[in-house]
Structure 1
Amino acid sequence: MNKGELASRLKKGKMFNKFAAALHSAVEALAPSQSLQEDFIFHWKAVTHYFINNKDDKKPVQESNIPNHLDQMLAILVTEESEMEDNLSGPCMEYLLQHKTLETLHSLGKADCPPGMKQIVLNFFTKLIGKIKQPLLPHINVYKPVSRLIKVCGEIRAGPTELEEIQFLCIVCAKIRQDPYLVNFFIEGDLPSKSPSTNDTRRRSPSHLPMEFNLIDSLLALLQSPDSKIAVKACEGLLLISSIPEKHAAQCISEHPMFCTVMAERLCSLYTALPLCMDPVDVESVEAKWGLDTCNDGEDTSMFHGKRQLISLLSWYDYCDQMVNESHPMISRTIARKINEWFFIPVLEPLLLQSSEAGILTSTAHLTKLLKMTTSPELLSQMVYFILGDGTGEEKPGDNTHKLRHRLIERCDHLSDEISIMSLRVFEVLLQKPHHHIFRNLVLRNLKTRAYYDRPSPSLASHEGSPSDSGIEPGVEAGGDGPSQEGSVPGSPLSVPGSPASSINDSDVSPNGELVDEAQGIHRVVNCFLSLLPDVAKSSYITGDVGYDMYLRDAHKHYKNCLVQCLSWDWPSHPVPLERCKNSGAFYEGYFMKVLLDKVSRMLDQPYEVNLQMTLVIAKIAHLPHPHIHELLLDPYLPVAPGCRTLFTVLNRVVMDLKARMRVLSDFQSQMIIVRKQLMGMVEDDERHKIEDNPIMNLPHIDLLEAVIVLEEFCKELAAIAFVKHHTSSSR
């Protein structure tokens, strides 16, 4: 027989089967009507008789009437249920359950006899479980064949029935999610005891079986499918099962030999597939969510080398983060620890500690991106301790016990401006995360003693609080190391000149330390920052591009978010009284704060981009509603201990340096205006050529002009933060 004859016969066979099915439907329509049960039994017997009478097991099932009979059975069950009262089984359903119909179908599907039967059976099970509203899975003659059918899913990689398999598994997962107790029907064996005693071992049956969760096994197998749609559906199924509030199932999944391992291993393999060097701007530009792992080379105009691999990594990391966020706490902790042990420490850390500048930029950009994407508390906690270590005690100079923390902070002041900016960016993102350890480790650990505060000697105690005779507002005269401290009140983070100490007690101080009975106090603080820079060095009021009001709006929004974030951390509303603070000797800001203040002190010699990133990080810290942070960063009136510095005193010295430099520069303010317009994109086309030809733009002090612009804006931002914190705390 040639190919043409074979094709002709097959075509005739198909036509005959279609004719037979149509004829059968016509006979049924003309025959006397039967009950639903009789009709149901008829269709089921037609299926079983096929296997008795048909010896050709190689004939595809699609050429038989089996699919049609099973569809009719399902339609009858749905119709019957709609006619019954809620949660009652009709005679057709009782027949299906009592005659072990599903067991028979499972056997046929597992054997895939005739060919294609597995697909038909999977479809029938999926529709039955999905369309029937009454609880079927608790019935022994349902959950047993369902459990057995689960085992055959995922057996063949990229098999022809993958789509039907994942649809079946997902409907089972959805039903279990609706009624979590059902999960216990699909777990076989016993949980091993954590620490079994001798008696427990003796009592254990010789037939004790290890625990098996075949639903997880099959989903993990389909997770490896080359078809991304199948893999995404497997992810959904795993997410559903992991989120059920059943401790037994959670322990089973946590102790599964592959579940948590697959999560971490895939992160490792996807990360190692990335190029060794990538542009941080490209890394930051990529947005990826799990389930949307697509990258069209032909249409994507922003394509760069490694983008496809990066999207795959970030998509999977996003899935891991969501899994940790939504799964049972026991599972969350296990996955997060596994990611730390398998991915963060052995894969990411060595790359972060390398000496290659290109490698440092790439790995730090990756760390920043992953940190920014992390939302689950457990995974965030693992990442925070990975980056910072667990130190919370007072930090000493030269302490580098946690190498990665020390290296990242050290690089904030790197010779390479790109590395400095990228390292500062890590801490900017870190400071936006709601984890108490971040702020305790980086800032608060060395502020709890308030050793920066100038504690008066006993001999001078009787003279404390005398009104100021100088009459000089702090910040106006930038010729010293800070505002006049005459008349300042020991123990108060914001002491207003002229306020007697005897009139001050805890009830007179607001949560951020301002004196409640001194209405002008906060205005003097704001004035300290706004008048710190001499008028000749200011340019924003001339160009009119950025106003103080904008900083007030931003500060209000950010501070409100900070209050919500820090609410559960039980931070004090007032500074800890000096008598209760342990005097630990000379004050040390801590390595992180030291590097930041060092960079502020050198801002006139740093590039514009470095200064922007540095001031952004400090502003994040200044928003925090902790009174000791407020003292160090936002209190110009703070009595500073000898050898100590605050943000205001450092800025004051910067302004002194600026005044000395300005004396040798001619027409300083007009140059400032030109540079500001250039930075803000306020230059018209007809002016652009004039500016480009202007010799000012080629002068070596252009970095200085840009730094002064940043300094002016930074002072306005600090003033706005102080103002908003005062009024928010007062209203509360």
Structure 2
Amino acid sequence: MFSRIACAVYNVMDALAPPLPLHEEFSHHWTAIKNFYTNKRSACQLPVELTDIPDHLNQMVCILEQEEGEGETGNGCPCMEYFLQQKILEAMCGLAKADSPTGFKQHVISFASRILSSVKFDLLPHASVWSAVQKLTMMCGEQLASPYEKEEMDFIFFLCNRLMEDPYLFNHFICDTSRRFPQKIRTRQSGSAHQVDLECSKHSTAEAEAPKIDVPLVQSLITFLNSPDHDISSKGNDCLVKCAAAFDEKTVNILVQQTDFCSKIVTFIVSQYHEVQKHCNLQDINDVDFFSVHTGENSGSDVQLSPGKRQILSFVRWVSFFDNLVGAQPQLGESLTMFFTDLFLKSEINAELSDLENNDKILFTTKLISLCIRSIASESLILSFGIFLVGNCKDPELPGCVGHFLKQLLVDRCHEAKLSSQVKLATLQLFEDLLQKPSKEVFESLVLSNLTGRRYYDYLFVEKHAHFSDDEVSCQRKSLYEEFDVSPGSSPVSRTFAPSSIHKILNCFLLLLPDELKSCEESEDSAYDVYIKDAHRQFQQCLLLCDDWNWPNDLCSEYEEVESEVSETSDSETEADATCSFFYEGSFLDMLFCKLENMLQQPYELNLQVTSLISRLALFPHPNLHEYLLNPLIPLVPTARSLFTVLLKLAEDIQIAVQDTQNLKKKLELTRKILLTDEEGCNSFEESNALEAIIVLEEFCKELAAIAFVKYHTSS
């Protein structure tokens, strides 16, 4: 109370007496603060708000701002010179360490933020200032959820923005002491040699010989990541990502090689995953999956989320932050991805996905990984997920041989009769999520490894049937320039993607089902052209994804190689062996074809997912994959099956299954209406499974025709 009266008297006297010069007034305020600590009668146990210290600090900032505004007088900046010479900020840091009186640390941090941000003179490079800022930075990360967390975060936020303007200043905030083993290093020069005295405990000799590198700014940001305050945590995320993008090569090397930065970040992700395991269940992940799809439609629905769902969303948010951090700096991202693969994917997820007993655990983990993949964008992290799940082997697969363990496990999981359809559906969705964000290595391992040799194509059939006029064979017998009369130097038409028999190809898909098995009439605007717009958009997106994959525009000409091998073989049986070699499409395509063949025995949702996955594959612009999936006219070796032959067999099975069905046309129309309008209640017909399979197959054929048509027009 007496201090407030004294302050009031001082203000009155200041109003009556002529004002002091700015530098004298500035020194007066600093002296008053020092006297507070030297006066034994000062009540340091009181909160700082009950003292004059906040007023003195505020006046000091105002004086520095006023002096800088009056800089045109030509008298220089004596207050600023005094501030730097007396090392005032550094002295304040020493007092703030003890936080006495309580709250002084908060005001010092605010004082430093205001000085550095409002004064136009660049103070940070000055030795006494950056030394003090370094100490303040270390203090900001000392305590999790400290009472001054907001002021600390504001100070770190300003500092990050300032350092991003001059990234070289990061080097001044790297020290070779750790907080756990503090060391004071004094260097003095004697003759031509440097002597270094290390003051540390006897037990820290090893640390003195190989001092641990510390980056207090980064350590403070990591502390803020763990803050229970969402705003503080999010601000820390943004700062860390921005700093990572601004780090130079030296700083990145220090972080990667001489600190535990990468392991700390990944360990934090792992700890969040453990929280998800403890507090979340299968219903939570189902609701979150729905929420993530519909979040754009109902942005306020997150208020109704339970703690378990919030925990899952929080984990996915941290994975997204990690993804941004990986993409911010390539070298740092590479190291982070390595730790992520080892500490999270291999150590945590591998055991959960490999579980063979607990269906709920399998389903939960599979859906969680799908959520993670959908939330990331950096190429290195996507590649890490892909290689972990399906490998990156380019060698052709052999039936019955286990290559990549997890890939085979996931494929077999789709076949496993004991597993629920939900597990199969989630596994297929995981494959589709990988294909939505593909990498070349993963795609070749999953799909192309058995197709690039074109062993599915029956060259012997072509030789025996000279009248056979397949477009690809014509392309092999004639040059592109002769076939299309294209002048040299212009872009030839892709014979694979734009065959002259496109109408025959389209009709193969559109006429697969007879009219009596179709659920709608063409006059109802339900022909394949309703899919063309979406197919065009998706194909353009797919072209962008594969733009730098260097895939050929046309099929590799292997016909001449096979023909030369056959010509050297006199025995006809050997000739047949050379040309009609065994073909295996690979475990992934084999699984998809088997799921297609079994559509009559599978739930509607599973059939939709299978056809969606195959449609996604058909969009990719690889000539062998396109030919294998979308050209029903090619001759196949006896051991091969293609997408069209599978569909043909399915259509035959459907006709047999519904041949005795009464009022088939009306039942199909009613089933279609129920499925498309999403009406409550399910189809109660005895043949409902077959009716739903017919409708899925009917729409699937239209979608395949639309994709083939779009690729034809894009390539012609």
TM tier relative to shorter chain: 0.7 to 0.9
Within the candidate set 295, 305, 308, 1:306 is matched to 308
Whichever residue aligns with residue 607 of structure 1, its letter is P
Contact persistence 1:512–1:625 (CA under 8 A): no
Q: More displaced, 563-572 or 127-136? A: 127-136
Contact persistence 1:372–1:429 (CA under 8 A): yes
State the alpha-carbon separation in 1 of the partners of residues 686 and 47 from structure 2.
Answer: 83
Q: Secondary structure at the match of 1:680?
A: helix
Structure 1 runs not aligned, ≥5 long: 1-12, 192-202, 289-293, 467-485
Whichever residue aligns with residue 352 of structure 2, its letter is L
State the alpha-carbon separation in 2 of the partners of residues 269 and 228 from structure 1.
Answer: 17
Report the CA distance shift for 1:91/1:287 in structure 2 as closer, same or farther (over 3 A). farther
Q: Please report how far the alpha carbon of residue 256 of structure 1 lies from its aligned counterpart in structure 2 after TM superposition.
A: 5.3
State the alpha-carbon separation in 2 of the partners of residues 270 and 295 from structure 1.
Answer: 24
- Does residue 318 of the first structure (1) align with residue 320 of the second (2)? yes
Q: More displaced, 267-276 or 443-452? A: 267-276
2:170 alignment partner in structure 1? 183
State the alpha-carbon separation in 2 of the partners of residues 586 and 417 from structure 1.
Answer: 32
- Does residue 28 of the first structure (1) align with residue 14 of the second (2)? yes
Q: Please report how far the alpha carbon of residue 222 of structure 1 lies from its aligned counterpart in structure 2 after TM superposition.
A: 4.0
Q: Please report how far the alpha carbon of residue 487 of structure 1 lies from its aligned counterpart in structure 2 after TM superposition.
A: 2.3
State the alpha-carbon separation in 1 of the partners of residues 301 and 219 from structure 2.
Answer: 32
1:332-411 aligned within 5 A: 332-355=333-356, 356-411=358-413
Q: Please report how far the alpha carbon of residue 622 of structure 1 lies from its aligned counterpart in structure 2 after TM superposition.
A: 0.3
1:475 alignment partner in structure 2? none
Q: More displaced, 626-635 or 545-554? A: 545-554
Contact persistence 1:283–1:365 (CA under 8 A): no
Q: Please report how far the alpha carbon of residue 581 of structure 1 lies from its aligned counterpart in structure 2 after TM superposition.
A: 6.8
Contact persistence 2:497–2:711 (CA under 8 A): no
1:645 alignment partner in structure 2? 641
2:677 alignment partner in structure 1? 681
Q: Please report how far the alpha carbon of residue 97 of structure 1 lies from its aligned counterpart in structure 2 after TM superposition.
A: 1.3
- Does residue 284 of the first structure (1) align with residue 319 of the second (2)? no
State the alpha-carbon separation in 2 of the partners of residues 651 and 682 from structure 1.
Answer: 26
Contact persistence 1:154–1:162 (CA under 8 A): no
- Does residue 555 of the first structure (1) align with residue 531 of the second (2)? no
State the alpha-carbon separation in 2 of the partners of residues 379 and 489 from structure 1.
Answer: 41
Q: More displaced, 72-81 or 36-45? A: 36-45
1:139-218 aligned within 5 A: 139-189=126-176, 209-218=211-220
- Does residue 79 of the first structure (1) align with residue 66 of the second (2)? yes
Whichever residue aligns with residue 527 of structure 1, its letter is N
The C-alpha deviation readout for 1:326-361, integer Å capped at 9, x for no partner, is: 2x2222122222121111112111111112222221
Whichever residue aligns with residue 453 of structure 2, its letter is T
2:693 alignment partner in structure 1? 707
State the alpha-carbon separation in 2 of the partners of residues 557 and 67 from structure 1.
Answer: 62
Report the CA distance shift for 1:93/1:702 in structure 2 as closer, same or farther (over 3 A). same
1:626 alignment partner in structure 2? 622
- Does residue 716 of the first structure (1) align with residue 699 of the second (2)? no
State the alpha-carbon separation in 1 of the partners of residues 449 and 462 from structure 2.
Answer: 28
- Does residue 532 of the first structure (1) align with residue 512 of the second (2)? yes
Contact persistence 1:123–1:168 (CA under 8 A): yes
Q: Secondary structure at the match of 1:212?
A: coil
Report the CA distance shift for 1:175/1:524 in structure 2 as closer, same or farther (over 3 A). same
State the alpha-carbon separation in 2 of the partners of residues 643 and 550 from structure 1.
Answer: 36
State the alpha-carbon separation in 1 of the partners of residues 616 and 151 from structure 2.
Answer: 52
Q: Please report how far the alpha carbon of residue 24 of structure 1 lies from its aligned counterpart in structure 2 after TM superposition.
A: 2.7
Q: Please report how far the alpha carbon of residue 565 of structure 1 lies from its aligned counterpart in structure 2 after TM superposition.
A: 0.9
- Does residue 592 of the first structure (1) align with residue 588 of the second (2)? yes
The C-alpha deviation readout for 1:279-333, integer Å capped at 9, x for no partner, is: 3532412449xxxxx9999x51x54x7223323322222222222122x222212
Whichever residue aligns with residue 347 of structure 1, its letter is E
Whichever residue aligns with residue 185 of structure 1, its letter is H
- Does residue 331 of the first structure (1) align with residue 327 of the second (2)? no
The C-alpha deviation readout for 1:543-586, integer Å capped at 9, x for no partner, is: 93744332001001000101111111111111111247788932
Q: TM-score when scaled to structure 2? A: 0.84
State the alpha-carbon separation in 2 of the partners of residues 435 and 719 from structure 1.
Answer: 26
The C-alpha deviation readout for 1:368-407, integer Å capped at 9, x for no partner, is: 1111112122221211111012312111112323211111
State the alpha-carbon separation in 1 of the partners of residues 381 and 234 from structure 2.
Answer: 21
State the alpha-carbon separation in 2 of the partners of residues 671 and 351 from structure 1.
Answer: 44
Q: Secondary structure at the match of 1:456?
A: helix
Report the CA distance shift for 1:235/1:457 in structure 2 as closer, same or farther (over 3 A). closer
1:578 alignment partner in structure 2? 558
2:566 alignment partner in structure 1? none
Q: Please report how far the alpha carbon of residue 719 of structure 1 lies from its aligned counterpart in structure 2 after TM superposition.
A: 0.5
1:65 alignment partner in structure 2? 52
Q: More displaced, 432-441 or 622-631? A: 432-441
Within the candidate set 613, 617, 637, 2:613 is matched to 617
Q: Please report how far the alpha carbon of residue 408 of structure 1 lies from its aligned counterpart in structure 2 after TM superposition.
A: 0.8
1:658-697 aligned within 5 A: 658-681=654-677, 697=683
Q: Please report how far the alpha carbon of residue 541 of structure 1 lies from its aligned counterpart in structure 2 after TM superposition.
A: 2.1
2:456 alignment partner in structure 1? 452
Contact persistence 1:512–1:630 (CA under 8 A): no
Q: Please report how far the alpha carbon of residue 63 of structure 1 lies from its aligned counterpart in structure 2 after TM superposition.
A: 2.5
Report the CA distance shift for 1:512/1:124 in structure 2 as closer, same or farther (over 3 A). farther
Structure 2 runs not aligned, ≥5 long: 179-192, 198-208, 294-298, 563-577
The C-alpha deviation readout for 1:81-136, integer Å capped at 9, x for no partner, is: 34448xx9733222211221112211221232333322221111111122223322
Contact persistence 1:512–1:627 (CA under 8 A): no
Within the candidate set 125, 141, 162, 2:112 is matched to 125
Q: Secondary structure at the match of 1:446?
A: coil
Percent sequence identity over aligned pairs: 34
Whichever residue aligns with residue 719 of structure 1, its letter is A
1:487 alignment partner in structure 2? 469
Q: Secondary structure at the match of 2:556?
A: coil
State the alpha-carbon separation in 1 of the partners of residues 240 and 134 from structure 2.
Answer: 16
Q: Secondary structure at the match of 1:549?
A: helix
Whichever residue aligns with residue 74 of structure 1, its letter is V
Q: Secondary structure at the match of 1:188?
A: coil
Within the candidate set 255, 258, 278, 2:257 is matched to 255
The C-alpha deviation readout for 1:500-524, integer Å capped at 9, x for no partner, is: 99964896973361557x4xx3223
Report the CA distance shift for 1:653/1:500 in structure 2 as closer, same or farther (over 3 A). farther
2:423 alignment partner in structure 1? 419
Within the candidate set 413, 428, 431, 2:432 is matched to 428
Contact persistence 1:450–1:581 (CA under 8 A): no
Report the CA distance shift for 1:204/1:667 in structure 2 as closer, same or farther (over 3 A). farther
Report the CA distance shift for 1:492/1:700 in structure 2 as closer, same or farther (over 3 A). farther
Q: CA RMSD in A?
A: 3.3
Q: TM-score when scaled to structure 1? A: 0.82
2:203 alignment partner in structure 1? none
Whichever residue aligns with residue 675 of structure 1, its letter is T
Contact persistence 1:494–1:635 (CA under 8 A): no
State the alpha-carbon separation in 2 of the partners of residues 511 and 634 from structure 1.
Answer: 15
State the alpha-carbon separation in 2 of the partners of residues 661 and 572 from structure 1.
Answer: 43
State the alpha-carbon separation in 2 of the partners of residues 673 and 169 from structure 1.
Answer: 65
Whichever residue aligns with residue 41 of structure 1, its letter is S
Within the candidate set 650, 656, 670, 2:652 is matched to 656
Report the CA distance shift for 1:60/1:641 in structure 2 as closer, same or farther (over 3 A). same
2:600 alignment partner in structure 1? 604
The C-alpha deviation readout for 1:430-487, integer Å capped at 9, x for no partner, is: 1000411221111111111111111137964xx63x3xxxxxxxxxxxxxxxxxxx32
1:135 alignment partner in structure 2? 122
